[in-house]
Amino acid sequence: MSSENDVDNKIKNVVKKVLSRNIDGLKHLDGLALDLGVTPKDIIYSRGPIKLYHYHPTCDEIYRVPIVLVMSLINRYYIVDLAPGQSFVEYLVAQGFDVYLIDWGLPRKEHQHFCFDSYVDDFLPDCLDKVADDCGEEDVSLIGYCLGGVIASLYTAIHPEKKIKNLVDIATPINTEGMPLYKSWADNETFDIDQIVTQLGNIPGGMVDTMLQALRPFQKTAGRMQMLDNAGDDKFLEAHYRFERWTADQVPIAGEAARQLFREFLHDNKIYKGEMEIAGKNANLANIVAPFLHIAALHDHIVPTAASKTLIDLVGSDDKSEIVLKGGHVSLIAGGNAVFRLWPQVAKWLEERSL
């Protein structure tokens, strides 16, 4: 009987603990500061869904070479500007860099014809021309995150004559043999990308999210359990809900871009093989001669190290560096420790190459 009472008491205590934390957490929600992408900026150019931002300098003197952040096609740009003190953009601006960012936006039905070539050899150079007009400098440093790193790298490869002063790739996939789940979709005949694009036009953000969640099915549940364990910690809750909001804010992929990425990148692995063509030009990464910094996370489940580790060897630059840190795809660039572990290393690497 006593053992049954012990079990009952334990259950009551657990329920009481969870309920108290849940109520405490709910009480805090109204006061949470969840504004995202708040570092002061101007839209200096737009084209369809695409926006080019220029962040307000905060230093009296800035480095000569501007930075252009090239974001992924499948996530919102504000992962690099989550909140004051948790913003890669804010950090770079505070170090004296002139920072621009390309937000690819949300493609609508009328944008389904955007192909991957469009992003690499039309939209990106168009934005870079606007950056040069705005700041008066032709040299530029590109920082690409995830698929943004692919776009930045391919552009640099097909235009070695352009003034790309520095190239930084963060969590950038190159070898799809190192992405077994993605590769299994690409190799599976029942996953008909042509039918999906024909019927839907663009790939819905919800479909992209489902694919990403399949990589770690219990990650959201684990995150919410962790939230309950920290329900009384305002700072933890704010950070948690910012990440939750960003994760849920999925971006559709333009239909033709999705088709091209699926066939030529995921299925045929053409970038890794040096066979990728963009607008009729061979985009061999060996053509890249700009100073290059490769950054990867050891526990990245979205872009495993097996998919990114050969990037530094494929790039033709003489000046090449690599940073590999513990962490995941998102925590690498925006986690609580990024301000101590990664951001200073990126700034230091760029400082001496931005004069």
Report the catalytic residues.
Answer: 146
Instruction: Output the CA angle 322-328-297, nearest 5 degrees.
Output: 15
Compute the distance between CA of residue 217 and CA of residue 210 in angstroms, rounded to an integer. Answer: 9
Instruction: Output the CA angle 121-127-131, nearest 5 degrees.
Output: 135
CA 321 to chain centre: 20
- Identify whether the C-beta of residue 349 lies closer than 8 Å to the C-beta of residue 295: no
The position carrying tokens 């910012």 is 242
Q: Which amino acid is at 245?
A: R
Q: Which amino acid is at 56?
A: H
Beta bridge partners of 42: 54
- Identify whether the C-beta of residue 28 lies closer than 8 Å to the C-beta of residue 234: yes
Per-position b or e across 311-347, b if 16+ CB within 10 A of its CB = bbebbebeebeebebebbbbbbbbbeebbebbbeebb
